[in-house]
Amino acid sequence: MDPYQITFQTWNKVSSLYQDKFMNLDLYDDTYDLFCKYITQAEAKIFEIGCGPGNITKYLLSKRPDFKIEAIDVAPNMIFLARKNNPAASFKIMDCRELDAITEKYNGVMCGFCMPYLSKEDCGKLIKDTAAIMNQGGIFYFSVLEGDYLQSGYEAGSSGDKAYVYY
């Protein structure tokens, strides 16, 4: 089976476990604060890629309730939780490898915890497609895992379910 499909199925299956573990993780809050600081427009349009259960969305809206956030995730169960956790934001099921279908423009794009599940080629496409949906001077936040790309492969979480992780 395609590594992406296995990974997507895993995220869909473990959505509640993921929410319980990471919904209130504050390790990266200082980086999210910088994202908020550098987006100076009131009611800025933000696009979030790979939103999971809405943990980053929730943090951003707690700091900037004026943000107009639209977010995507490939896992329907993650989108269900994100909507429940953030009724003020807009969510839809979408594969981040299809950003070229988006015609809107955004002041900022948030991509926390998504790129480690994309190949080098798909990361390059995501960056290119993100540039196309951002307004001039927009802010792009993304996170990656540091490591040797040749060490990429399946990793199992505490539930035993696997995801393909790229370094």
What CATH number has the domain bearing residue 65?
Answer: 3.40.50.150
Rounded mean pLDDT of the chain? 97
pTM recorded for the entire structure: 0.95
Average of per-residue pLDDT across 79-96: 99
* Distance from C-alpha of 70 to C-alpha of 137, rounded to nearest angstrom: 19
Q: Is the pLDDT of residue 8 over 90?
A: yes
User: pLDDT, tens digit, for every residue of 13-37?
Assistant: 999 999 999 999 999 999 999 999 9
Split into its structural domains, the chain has a count of: 1
Q: Is the pLDDT of residue 1 over 90?
A: no
Average of per-residue pLDDT across 71-79: 99
Amino acid at 129: D
Average of per-residue pLDDT across 76-101: 98
User: In the chain, what percentage of residues exceed pLDDT 90?
Assistant: 99
pLDDT for the residue numbered 10: 97
pLDDT for the residue numbered 66: 99
How many beta carbons lie within 10 A of that of residue 158, not counting itself?
8
Q: Is the pLDDT of residue 108 over 90?
A: yes
Average of per-residue pLDDT across 60-70: 99
The two three-digit tokens of residue 114, written as one number: 């998504």
Q: How confident is the model at residue 57 (pLDDT cuts 50, 70, 90)?
A: very high
Got the DSSP string for 73-95? Answer: ES-HHHHHHHHHH-TTSEEEE--
User: In the chain, what percentage of residues exceed pLDDT 70?
Assistant: 100
User: pLDDT, tens digit, for every residue of 145-162?
Assistant: 999 999 999 999 989 999
Residue that the structure tokens 């080098």 belong to: 120
Got the DSSP string for 24-70? Answer: T--TTHHHHHHHHHH--STT-EEEEES-TTTHHHHHHHHH-TT-EEE
Q: Is the pLDDT of residue 86 over 90?
A: yes
Average of per-residue pLDDT across 110-122: 97
Domain interval for residue 100 = 3-165
